[in-house]
Chain A
Amino acid sequence: MSNTYATHASAERTRFSRPQLVSLLGPLISTGGIVWAVLQPYRVTLLHPFGQGFWWLVAEPPLLVVLVGVLFTFLVARPLLRDLEEHRAASR
């Protein structure tokens, strides 16, 4: 394999995987929260809200993880993917 081809192939592989990694990060975080909620449903006080205090209804760790994943996807990852695409188009 020539050096030029190897460099080109490596760059293509990197360009291909970066958007995938960025778009996967948020859903991966949210999935972690959902799996946690399934494994430890007693951590989700919304499932049994009666008799719970205010803070027990607000602080639900699996749902906080899901929330971080969702916020990250919509606030950070999606605009970043557009910028990444723009950057790729400009550098072609």
Chain B
Amino acid sequence: MQPHAEMVHWFFAAGILFVGACLLCEAIVGREVWQMRPWRKYLWPGTAFLMGVLLWPVMAFFTNSAIHMYAHGSWAEFLMLAGGAELGLVHGRLTSRWWRLTWPLAFVVTGTAFIVHEQNPWYFARSAFLHHLIGWTFLIAALIPLALVWRPRSAALQACFALVIVVVSVQLFADRDVAPVFGHLSPLAGTPHR
């Protein structure tokens, strides 16, 4: 009765796409307009926090090795930390800009976990390729939320941050459990099912 791993990736991709669209909108209209309605300022930090919470059942039900458990558990923790810190910042409970460091931290932890828990090489199968690609995307893109700590009002940086989230969503939507990547599929990966 459990969904395939690829389906879980697609559900998270949908949530991430929604967050990316919200972030892009905030970058376009500016924080002042975005926060005109009280509920809207909690929307994407709340969704990010919720996705962190939902990563716990993923950790519990999709753990086929210790490294998977550590990877999913660390994402859950750091996504909850970053989403929670953002919630505190928009609510006004947290005032120090250093709380925004939780985002680059979450990116680095996520990127490292993606790369470390994928033990197959890039061209083993599409899922292996995408795990490496997403990992490196997060690691390199961590510079953007890091720059936002010092330039939180920069529309260009906000738009870049949003676009990175959208790119990650597209990468997750492209994931398949067993499928070739650029014509490569290891015979050890299994039979592609669709």
Contact = CB atoms under 8 A, between A and B. Distances in A.
Q: Give the interface residue-count category, chain A.
A: 20 to 34
B99 to A, nearest CB: 24
B40 A77 contact: no
B33 A80 contact: yes
Q: Give the interface residue-count category, chain B.
A: 20 to 34
A55 interface: yes
B13 interface: yes
Q: Say what secondary structure dominates the interface of chain A.
A: helix
Contacts, number: 68
A67 B10 CA distance: 12
B29 A84 contact: yes
Interface string A46-72: 000000001100110100110110011
Interface in B1-28: 1-4, 7, 10-11, 13-14, 17-18, 21-22, 24-25, 28
Interface of B: 1-4, 7, 10-11, 13-14, 17-18, 21-22, 24-25, 28-29, 32-34, 36-37, 40, 43, 173, 194
